[in-house]
Structure 1
Amino acid sequence: MTTPEETKVVSATRDIAAPAAQIFELIADPSRQPAWDGNHNIAHADAGQRVQAIGDVFRMTLHNGNVRDNLVVEFEEGRRIAWCPSSEGQPPAGHLWRWALEPEGEGNTRVIHTYDWSQLTDENRMERARSTTPDMLSASLEKLAAAVEST
């Protein structure tokens, strides 16, 4: 049961010294996400799933062996991408991962990473949703920054 004060939308923001297009390529290519996943959740995603549009579905395998289908529900090339995960072959469970990129001058981008579980109804996922903190999202941002700022 959720308490009234429970936050169901968590986010983290970081300025990254890289162009938005370069950062977006890492986010929009699921096969590259396991390398910078700060939630320690994604084990593997096959190559060739680069997101192109709303309605795309990409698949990831989690560290626990479960497979997630991810339905893209927001997409603006170089600026925004969001997806709703589900168990393999099932409808989305009601939570969403979003990345928003805001260019901040030449070669710099503000990146906002959000996890929204306000529509989550699957009781089996509530504990994991509650345990997702802004610090975990910040860890992904730190790893993402390290990946693009070192190139």
Structure 2
Amino acid sequence: MTEETKIVSVERVVAAPAEAIFELIADPAQQPRWDGNDNLAEAAPGQRVRAVGDVFVMTNTGDRVRENRIVEFEEGRRIAWMPNPPGEPAPGHLWRWELEPQEGGTLVRHTYDWSGLTDESRFDRARQFTADALRASVDRLAELAEREAA
């Protein structure tokens, strides 16, 4: 039996500046526009993330509300958060975006890490976030950022 991969990551170069791409990620109200998993329904405006420890609230499809605590942050370059149901501890999974400016665009890396997830009842849902699912978000983000940068 092989060890299950609990860290999934995809990357691609996007023909847009890192700052413009980062704005689409760090403003939760923008996230449903590029969510390739069709998992995010809405987030109230005015929650733009600025530092580790910030929390934004997102409503997922199915009306599930999630608080998302920022655990990594470097303006314009890196952002990661751990979601949890309101008032409950984070179950242990993490979403990360890393941006590296390059000539002609930005290398965008998107990672879903569920290696810290301990509640086995959440494993089936976590397994749905495959490389293809993450790539769909990166591709939608790229399309949006490139169109807005043009």
Counterpart in 2 of 1:103? Answer: 101
Report the Cα distance in structure 1 between the residues aligned to 2:121 and 2:56, rounded to whole angstroms. Answer: 22
- What pairs with 1:55-74 in structure 2 (closer than 5 Å)? 55-74=53-72
Counterpart in 2 of 1:142? Answer: 139
Residue 119 of structure 2 corresponds to residue 122 of structure 1: yes
Tell me how far 1:90 sits from its aligned partner. Answer: 1.0
SS in 2 for 1:81: strand
2:52 maps to amino acid: I
- Which sections of structure 1, spanning at least 5 residues, go unmatched? none
Report the Cα distance in structure 2 between the residues aligned to 1:90 and 1:23, rounded to whole angstroms. Answer: 31
- When the two structures are aligned, how many residues end up with a matched partner? 148
Deviations 1:33-66 (A, max 9, x none): 0011011111111100000000000000010111
SS in 2 for 1:140: helix
1:31 maps to amino acid: A
CA RMSD in angstroms, aligned pairs only: 1.0
Structure 1 runs of 4+ aligned residues shifted over 3 Å read none
Counterpart in 1 of 2:13? Answer: 15
TM value normalised by structure 1: 0.95
Report the Cα distance in structure 1 between the residues aligned to 2:102 and 2:110, rounded to whole angstroms. Answer: 16
Deviations 1:104-149 (A, max 9, x none): 02x5000000000000012332111011100011000110011011
TM value normalised by structure 2: 0.95
Report the Cα distance in structure 1 between the residues aligned to 2:18 and 2:43, rounded to whole angstroms. Answer: 22
Tell me how far 1:81 sits from its aligned partner. Answer: 0.1
Report the Cα distance in structure 1 between the residues aligned to 2:88 and 2:2, rounded to whole angstroms. Answer: 29
Over the matched positions of the two proteins, sequence identity in percent amounts to 61
